[in-house]
């Protein structure tokens, strides 16, 4: 009977030690930023990451759109200037400083 009690005690002690070790590792990882904590925290972080990625993609898309608009405006202004130049019959090829 004593062997059984010792075996049960050893098993209980081993499981307590394992739980304590796991708790300490988890605390260490959490303190070092390696572990986020609960599932809710993980979801929140994943949502923040995806939100950040979506905002970055949207900003990049807006940046490209602005560049396209600038190019179109520049082309339009250049065409208007050339048209005015042709109407005036001017031979100067330089753009006015107010053009840019």
- Can you give the pLDDT at residue 66? 93
Half-sphere CA count of 75, side-chain side, radius 13 A: 6
pTM of the full predicted structure?
Answer: 0.40
d(CA 6, CA 11): 9
d(CA 83, CA 77): 10
* CB 66, CB 84: distance < 8 Å: no
d(CA 10, CA 79): 89
32-74 confidence digits (pLDDT tens): 655 556 677 777 777 777 888 888 888 999 999 999 999 999 9
């Amino acid at each position: 009977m004593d062997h059984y009690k010792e075996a049960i005690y050893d098993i209980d002690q081993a499981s307590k030690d394992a739980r304590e070790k796991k708790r300490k590792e988890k605390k260490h990882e959490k303190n070092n930023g390696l572990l986020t904590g609960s599932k809710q925290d993980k979801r929140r972080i994943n949502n923040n990451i995806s939100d950040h990625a979506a905002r970055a993609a949207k900003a990049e898309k807006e940046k490209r759109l602005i560049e396209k608009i600038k190019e179109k405006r520049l082309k339009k202004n250049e065409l208007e200037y050339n048209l005015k130049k042709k109407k005036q019959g001017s031979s100067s090829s330089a753009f006015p400083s107010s053009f840019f």
